Amino acid sequence: EAICVAADVTRLAEVQRAVDEAVATYGHIDVLHNNVGITSQGGPVETSEDTWDRVMAINVKSMFLTCKCVLPLMEAQKAGAILNIGALGGVRWTGYAYCAYAASKGAVNSLTQSIALQYAARGIRANCILPGVMDTPHIYGQIAGFYASTEEMVAARNRLSPTGRMGDGWDVANAAVFLASDEARYINGVELLVDGGMHARCN
């Protein structure tokens, strides 16, 4: 079963309304999965102040707001799992000039660890998943401009991974399901790289 609630995740009132609707429907919240984010091309010189603020609001502030609304509920029930989607670009250079995106995903890592340690004794876990090169619809609009053709982009990104292929949404989803489950009950505050070994082989 599922319900669909539209909300601007950068606005506290809308986030609270979405949380309230979930509680009204199901009675409680066991898992919070923050899977939202945008990219923006450009380094510090090319990135406008408005773009920087928008990326930070959507990629970081949204996770702060959802946690702000959900943590009191989890604390009251003495249980809960929070999963935040970061990115490999938040811990190392990936070949694309995405300074705002990289900074925002680095902030997601720090936010996750802070929550994990503050709330560990209260039965709440928080972990961060860091996808690497992924084959998703998003890349065909955002990254394709770096390459002469779609085929060249796919081939180049496949070569970045030691496995010889990009990952996909299911690779990330499987990691999320595991971290949300009781099988991961003693895993807290981690940054789980889902990157085919990219980070392990790179400086």
Torsion from C-alpha of 61, 62, 64, 67, nearest 10 degrees: 180
Look up 147 and say whether it is catalytic.
no
C-alpha to C-alpha distance for 87 and 130, rounded to whole angstroms: 4
Name, in order, each residue with C-beta under 8 angstroms of 74's C-beta and a sequence gap of 6 or more. 29, 32, 80, 82, 119, 122, 123, 124
C-alpha to C-alpha distance for 62 and 7, rounded to whole angstroms: 11
Q: Which of 101, 119, 140, 147 is catalytic?
A: 101
DSSP string, 163-177: TSS-B-HHHHHHHHH
Give the catalytic positions in this structure.
Answer: 101
